[in-house]
Structure 1
Amino acid sequence: MAHCLQSCPQQTATGTTTLCAHGSRDDAPTNCDSQRPLWTETKIKAHTDPTSIAQTPIVSTPAFLEATRDSGYRNTAMAIAEMVDNAIQAEAETVEISVSETQREQHPLNISISDDGHGMDPTDLGRALSFGGSSRFNDRLSLGRYGMGLPNASLSQARRVDVFSWRDGKAHHCYLDLDEVAEERGQTLPAVVPIDSPPPLQGRDSGTHVELSRCDRLEYKRTSTIASKLGAELGRIFRQYIATGTSIWVNGELVEPLDHLFQSTPTGATQFGETLTYQLSGPSGFGVVEVRFTELPVLLWHRLAEAEKRRLGITGAPLVSVVRAGREVDRGWFLMGRKRRENYDDWWRCEIRFDPTLDELFGITHTKQQISPSPELRVAIEPDLESVARALNQRVRRHFEMAKSSTPLITAERTASRVKGSLPPLPNCTYGTAGAEIRRTAGPLLSDPDGAFQLCLAELSTTALYEFEFYAGTLTLFLNVRHPVLRDLFRPLALSDQLSDRAHATKLVLVLLAAARAEVRCGNDEILRSFRQEWSDVTSTFLNA
């Protein structure tokens, strides 16, 4: 039996193993004062004596670089987004991306990324191609954090990356080549060397140009397909930066911002409720989380063809977008508690923005392309988000119920258009009582977008039975589904199984369309508007009595 070398009096036997009071095992002589086996001391001495054993690098560079290529970028666009991050952090106003063909049969495509940011000096250029070598390591003020983006993202798509950067009239070049590293077993990057400014960089006072060559892991093989996918993905990921002035070009085409919340068009979504704001604390300090919900115009878009809904990203698309420092890092179905996604949920969107100081709560990794919410984050915001999601689901259901009564409106549109030639002409003017809010939430049925009449169901904020708009020869009538005439008279008739009832619903709508048309004929008259409002209110009182 081995004994404690400090003559410890508290030695006990446990099975076949003898331990002293300090936990020393009988299979390793110990020094209880230091609680460290003597064989560990011997190992430490060997490590500090360079003549005792051969020293081994912590990382086998060729194997590490090959392994890091599988670090998890979902697609080519997510990898290229890392280079766009760097450009934005360098205060670039313009980022130009080029996907071009080569003469190599095995690697037929190259990708380059140029920007007009402040560029890098030789020291920063060398660091930029090393893993974790960024001068902004653990920076929580902007997009980057780990200093892994440029080499990691580049090698995930290509076997060689060249970086040219220039500032103050001086240009430099450095590169990282997987095949050279494997052949030479090198442990360091090639030297940064001064160069003349190559053609893509001419005419700019400062900037950076990244070239990915021998691309063997691109998502697609056609130049046009890659360029198209890049434009769509980058437009969504960097939508907030593009909207505030950053220009991103892909093969000469300007990337347009893709609004996840569908609020960028006059007939798009409307915000639901107030923005939810949370002040949270994480391991790196305090930060803010902001959550916004929007509801898509069911009454406006429900009759679109299924293929068109998919093309526009209405159905089958991720509903929740998570945005870190103005840049999307993930999208899917997150933080909705026990609420499961249903088909009705295609008709609303959610955007969650958070400060980089809360990276740990969101589970952000160095690739910045997915989240893994922590239990603390779930407890803080999930109950509210689940409640809003359920409320929106119910509103969508109700709007679809309203949309079922649309058939008589389509019939009324066609009837009115058919007899238009026998009616007194309308003036050549533009006016109406429908504001922007009504146009965004109402539901033209799109049966004849170029017709003279458009009939819409809408949840108006006023008590008027209808509002209207006359523009470019088309009279659009917005019928207030909250008014008793629509709720108690029109809707039961429109949803009836009897053809005669649905015919009466059509005639009722035609009566209201005739009244709106008469207002247009009489001009933008405040007296007529007051008459319509009082008539609507009195009718509502009578029908609710």
Structure 2
Amino acid sequence: MSLPQHPYVRPSQVIGSMRDNGYKNTAYALAELIDNSIQAGAKTVRFVCFEAYEKVNATSRRRIQKIAILDDGYGMDEETLYMALEFGASKNKEDPEGMGKFGMGLPNSSISQCKKTEVWSWQNGNRPYYTYLDVDEIESGKQETIPYPEIKDLDNIIADAYKGSVPNSGTVIVWSSLDRLHWKTSIALLKHTQNLIGRMYRYMIQHKDESKRVRIVFENQLFDESTGGYKSENPVSFKANDPLYLMTDTVVEDAKDFPSDFKGQSLFDISLDGQSNREEIELSDGTKGYYCIRASSVKKSFAEKLTEQTNSKIGSTDVGRQFASNIGLSIIRSGRELDLKRDFKIKDNYQKDRYIGVEVHFPPSLDNFFGVTNNKQSATKIQPANLPEIALQEGVDEAEVISAIKESDPDHALLLECLAKIEGAFETFNELKLKNITYGKVTKNQGSENADPASVIASNAEEQRSNEYPTAGDFEPADRDEVREALSEYSYTKTELEELTTNVIDNNIKVQFIEKEGPLTTLFDISLNQGLTLIQINNEHNFYRNFMSKATERDQMLLKVCLAAWGRMEKEAPTDEVRRRYRLSREKWGEVLDGYLNQDEY
């Protein structure tokens, strides 16, 4: 009997689930495209937003319409371009030491943010080849295969973004139908990508060899209705963001309270240089590689200068907050940061560990050894080793664990040795004690008389939780314009809006409660913003009318803190799909609760 052949994957059936592919945010997805550009020899990578005003709740607001990545790299011929949108088929895999070798970056990152991806590429002054990927067409069954590249000139607005000088070779990727962006305006996107992109590519932005240096430029093109065209706004070149604070001319120097007499100087002392402690290793299958660890701690003179400039603890300064955003272990693969793992940091209530920096470097040849994921979001095997547990399993003393497993699993023993050295690098924290640094006046945030006590308590709880289970944006200070825009959804007067915005910013509020009429039978709605969680409590819900509005102030506060805990759970969801399920559960529970309380006896 002859049976029809079936494909391993039916694109129309799986494309939806493939979109939930684990990218932490838009910046990480964009980094995949920047990786490809750099690997293709680009000297300048342009990151361009095309923005226009849209009506949002009867208010005209800016919204990003398209995002384009433009480079001046080697470009692709038609066969290479044809492979570029195929999952797992990139020619970058042929470069064993390159940043991109999994063949997943372009299509994987693109569908995580948008429904349509267009690609133009050209070489040696020839006309560009063009192809595209369209999620809607794939889901409908219209696009089952990648369209073979055709010759097609760049759109005029894209060519203009090259500043009138399209390079001899290059590649352009355009995202449109942007249904999954984390930040909807160019201002927000720049704010939240500037530090992250600057940190990920710091060694390329400040490469010692000028011929290998890469310039990454952000630019916004705003649609002008009067002319029907786009007007370029001020471009911004990304600066390096160095968690070890050994580089100069980095983003921290742009902080408002950065001491001017330290410009052009390293702010930390180096304790591990990454050269004298470089370890060459060979795995059991013959794979060779290396790893090296660098570490640093804040200079006493710089800490003292910050102390002079504040009446509070130096961690509350703009510089101190910037330090806090870089807490953890920076994992560097092929010169590019994969991840900043916060679970290696010292558990310290006042985040004094922000004043040390640790990073580990390794080449792509050790990807399997360190557990590098195919979306280059993390190295899963780099985490604190539980030596007591392993010792218990092996039936040996903790000090003998590594030697005990060397015979049976030499590669695991090598990994444990590396992890032990990484953890040892965090002993740089002890150097701070030897330096006898003063961190200024330590004050716990109690909020002002205008702050809702529940918001203050929930904000303090959120801050403590983020130390152990950090999420994107936890250590980013709230932006006044973004807070104002988020709060403006709730029909406040102009005066109320400014007062509430000021209260959130001045009191470092991370969880804000709003009591307003909400959607149908939903008890509470949650809006996750960078640095701020908004919880709208529906004052028309039966639970609110029959119980919450009549509860004592203390009980109301406890109920709000309970809702804040749910909000944090949604924020920590590992994927967008899990977060969606949490939201549906919250809405369904509110509906059931409303029905249970819809009785005359209440």
Map 1:7-156 to 2 at 5 A: 52-102=2-52, 108-137=64-93, 139-156=95-112
TM-aligned CA deviation for residue 89 of structure 1 = 0.7
Amino acid in the other structure paired with 1:323: I
Partner of 2:180 in structure 1?
217
CA distance in 1, matches of 2:287, 2:344: 22
Shift of 1:399: 2.8
Q: Mean alpha-carbon deviation: is it higher for 349-358 or for 302-311?
A: 302-311
The 8 Å contact of residues 328 and 344 in structure 2, kept in 1 or not, is answered as no
Seen in structure 2, the aligned counterparts of structure 1 residues 187 and 264 have a Cα distance that, compared at 3 Å, is same
The partner residue of 1:389 within 422, 426, 431 is 426
1:233 partnered with 2:196: yes
- Change over 3 Å in CA distance of 1:249–1:373 after alignment to 2: same
1:354 is the counterpart of 2:362: yes
Superposition deviation, residue 108 in structure 1: 4.8
- Unmatched segments (≥5 aa) in structure 1: 1-45, 47-51, 406-545
Matched, 1:317 2:309: no
Cα distance in 2 for residues equivalent to 1:77 and 1:291: 26
Aligned AA for 2:20?
D
Q: Which amino acid aligns with 1:389?
A: F
The question of 1:259 aligning with 2:242 is answered yes
Cα distance in 2, alignment partners of residues 350 and 174 from structure 1: 42
Look up the SS of the partner of 1:62 in the other structure. Answer: helix
Equivalent positions of 1:436-451 (< 5 A) are: none
Q: 1:247 is matched with which residue: 211, 215, 219? A: 215
CA drift of 1:356 comes to 0.7
Give 1:259-298 correspondences, 5 Å limit. Answer: 259-265=242-248, 266-275=265-274, 276-282=277-283, 283=285, 285-298=287-300
Paired residue secondary structure (2:115): strand
* Aligned-partner Cα distance in 2 for 1:55–1:102: 48
Amino acid at match of 1:347: Y
One-letter amino acid matched to 2:336 = R
Partner of 1:189: 146
Shift of 1:102: 4.7
Q: Structure 1 230/66 Cα, relative in aligned 2: closer, same or farther at 3 Å?
A: same
**Matches of 1:327 and 1:156 in 2, distance apart?**
21
Letter in 2 for 1:163: V
The Cα shift of 1:120 comes to 0.5
**Closer, same or farther in 2 for the Cα pair 1:53/1:236, shift >3 Å?**
same
Residue 242 and residue 388 in structure 1: after superposition, are their counterparts in 2 closer, same or farther (change >3 A)? closer
RMSD between aligned residues: 2.6
How far apart, CA to CA, are the structure 2 residues paired with 1:378 and 1:278? Answer: 12
Task: Give the aligned length.
Answer: 352
| Partners of 1:191 and 1:403 in 2: CA distance | 61
- Where 1:216 maps in the other structure, the secondary structure is coil
- State the shift of 1:187 in Å: 2.1
Matched, 1:203 2:186: no
Distance 1:274 1:238 in 2: 19
Q: Which whole-Å deviations, capped at 9, do the CAs of 1:27-62 have from their partners, x for residues lacking one?
A: xxxxxxxxxxxxxxxxxxx5xxxxx22322210102
Structure 2 CA distance for aligned equivalents of residues 73 and 197 of structure 1: 29
Kindly name which structure, 1 or 2, has the bigger radius of gyration based on alpha carbons.
1
Q: Distance in 1 between matches of 2:421 and 2:331?
A: 16
The percentage of counterpart residues that share the same residue type is: 27
TM-score by length of 1: 0.60
2:374 is aligned, of 362, 366, 378, to 366
**Distance (whole Å) between structure 1 residues aligned to residue 320 and residue 70 of structure 2:** 30
Determine the structure 1 residue equivalent to 2:254: none
Q: What SS does the aligned partner of 2:24 have?
A: coil
Amino acid at match of 1:156: S
Q: State the alpha-carbon separation in 1 of the partners of residues 439 and 217 from structure 2.
A: 41
* Corresponding residue SS for 2:128: strand
Identify if the C-alpha distance between structure 1 residues 312 and 129 changes in structure 2 by more than 3 Å, giving closer, same or farther: same
Q: CA deviation at 1:312?
A: 4.9
Deviations 1:156-192 (A, max 9, x none): 0000000011113131100000111222343201221
Deviations 1:323-381 (A, max 9, x none): 00010001124668xx7567332211011110110111211011101111264454222
Q: Tell me the CA shift for residue 238 of structure 1.
A: 0.6
1:154/1:286 Cα in 2 relative to 1: closer, same or farther (>3 Å)? same
- C-alpha distance in 1, partners of 2:375/2:339? 11
User: What one-letter code is carried by the residue in structure 2 that aligns with 1:111?
Assistant: I
Partner of 2:315: 306
Listed one character per residue, the Cα deviations across residues 248-270 of structure 1 (whole Å, up to 9, x for unaligned) are: 00112111111121012415111
Change (3 A) 1:267 1:189: closer
Report the residue type matching 1:385 in the other structure. I
Deviations 1:505-529 (A, max 9, x none): xxxxxxxxxxxxxxxxxxxxxxxxx
Aligned AA (1:361): F
1:120 and 1:166 in contact (8 A); partners too = yes
Distance 1:203-1:294 versus aligned 2 partners, 3 A rule: same
CA offset digits 1:230-263 (Å, max 9, x no partner): 2221111011111122110011211111112101
